[in-house]
Amino acid sequence: MRLPSDLAFRTKGQLAIDLLADGIHLDFACGDGVYGRCTQLREYLGSRGRLTCCGFRRTSTSPWPAASGSPASRLQLRCSSRRGWEVRSAGTGAKGQRWYAWAWLSTASSRHYLLIRRHLTTGELAFHYCFVPASQPVSLSRLVRAAGCRWPVEEDFRSGKGCFGLDQSQVRLYHAIARHTVLVMAALAICAVTAALLRRRTDTRAPGPVRPDQPPPADPGMIPLTVPETAGLLAHPPPPGAGRHWLAWRRRHQALSGWYHQRTWLARDEQKILLVR
């Protein structure tokens, strides 16, 4: 692969520390279990006063410092009980609000918490290690918001792979792989920024449903330009007439389809929330 002679092996946690050391400002430091198990990364974020919310497996080594104490006994009690859970949204998804049941446990330290997420239908549990600096407020809403911030990151990776070919290369040399990655991420960044700047101008959707029996709007409007559509317009601008008409029809159809999806999920969410409560 012609790797550079000075290239050193770095884990994902160490690479994350390198990015943060370059001066990137974050409101929340969120990650999956790979980052949650990295002791070096957790200590680095704690020393820099960054609010941290990372997943970890229940069978993994406890991420809490020895002085903080592990909430293992209370964790077992909370997971087996149906009381003490609060249904909150982790953010807006493609089909409406993403509702889950949440619970949190404190440790002996006033800054380390365990956040538990439970799926309303399957009951599947997910665990998050949370650290809140002393200068910042602590609330369940804030931790839930931090945990839900990982969803846009997953969307970016899916767009990069599906629309820009991030994982579609047949190169074998180190420099070729680096060039391909940089070019794909640059194209994704350009299209994502363009779509974000045009979002208010191109989003004409009707207000979402508030009742499961609400009739559809007379004019559903159009969804904003998505990143894949922006990429297509920048690469191959459609000719006047048929191309633009097809793009407008598709965006209007997606807006109406999304409205019906939200109404269907609204009825299901109400039933799930009532079952949990």
CA angle 127, 128, 133 (to 5 degrees): 155
Whether residue 181 is found in the same domain as residue 58: no
Tally the domains of the chain: 3
pLDDT of residue 26: 78
Range of the structural domain that residue 99 is part of: 12-148
Q: Is residue 1 part of a domain?
A: no
- Does the pLDDT value for residue 277 go beyond 70? no
Q: Is residue 222 part of a domain?
A: yes
Averaged pLDDT for residues 117-122 = 86
Q: Is residue 53 part of a domain?
A: yes
**Domain final residue pick, 86, 114, 148:** 148
Lowest mean pLDDT, pick from 146-155, 181-190, 264-273: 264-273
Give the relative orientation of helices 150-162 and 174-197 as an angle to the nearest 10 degrees: 120
Whether residue 177 is found in the same domain as residue 260: no
Better pLDDT: 111 or 204? 204
Averaged pLDDT for residues 244-259 = 88
Q: Is residue 246 part of a domain?
A: yes
Whether residue 24 is found in the same domain as residue 80: yes
pLDDT of residue 67: 44
Q: Are 79 and 67 in contact (CB under 8 A)?
A: no
Q: How confident is the model at residue 215 (pLDDT cuts 50, 70, 90)?
A: very high
Average pLDDT of the residues of the chain? 83
Better pLDDT: 59 or 124? 124
Highest mean pLDDT among 13-17, 36-40, 239-243: 13-17
Mode of pairing for the β-strands spanning 52-55 and 29-31: parallel
- Does the pLDDT value for residue 200 go beyond 50? yes
Q: Is residue 3 part of a domain?
A: no
Question: Whose structure tokens read 């960044």?
Answer: 189
**Residues 47-90: pLDDT tens digits?**
888 889 988 876 665 666 554 455 555 565 566 666 678 888 88
Whether residue 59 is found in the same domain as residue 18: yes
Whether residue 22 is found in the same domain as residue 143: yes
Q: Where are the beta strands (DSSP E) in the chain?
A: 29-31, 52-55, 86-93, 96-106, 112-118, 125-131
What 3-state class would DSSP assign to 115?
A: strand
Averaged pLDDT for residues 22-34 = 83
pLDDT of residue 24: 78
pLDDT > 90: what percent of the chain?
24
Averaged pLDDT for residues 127-151 = 87
In order of 80, 92, 106, 192, the CA distances from 148 in angstroms are 24, 9, 20, 20
Whether residue 144 is found in the same domain as residue 229: no
Closest C-alpha to 103, from 133, 125, 121:
125
Closest C-alpha to 114, from 70, 162, 167:
70
Averaged pLDDT for residues 169-196 = 92
Whether residue 139 is found in the same domain as residue 162: no
pLDDT of residue 273: 58
Closest C-alpha to 94, from 264, 276, 267:
264
pLDDT > 70: what percent of the chain?
84
Q: Is residue 6 part of a domain?
A: no
Lowest mean pLDDT, pick from 63-72, 134-143, 254-263: 63-72
Q: How confident is the model at residue 28 (pLDDT cuts 50, 70, 90)?
A: confident
Whether residue 99 is found in the same domain as residue 184: no
Whether residue 33 is found in the same domain as residue 130: yes
- Does the pLDDT value for residue 152 go beyond 90? no
- The DSSP secondary-structure symbol of 45 reads H
Tokens read off for 39: 């002791």
Q: Is residue 182 part of a domain?
A: yes
Contacts of 208 (CB under 8 A, 6+ apart): 96, 259, 262
Whether residue 144 is found in the same domain as residue 76: yes
Q: How confident is the model at residue 23 (pLDDT cuts 50, 70, 90)?
A: confident
**Domain final residue pick, 166, 181, 197:** 197
Better pLDDT: 177 or 76? 177
Averaged pLDDT for residues 166-189 = 91
Tokens read off for 239: 């000719």
Q: Is residue 205 part of a domain?
A: yes
**CB atoms inside a 10 Å sphere around CB 172:** 9
Whether residue 142 is found in the same domain as residue 248: no
Whether residue 99 is found in the same domain as residue 123: yes
- The DSSP secondary-structure symbol of 54 reads E
Averaged pLDDT for residues 157-165 = 86
Tokens read off for 248: 């407008």
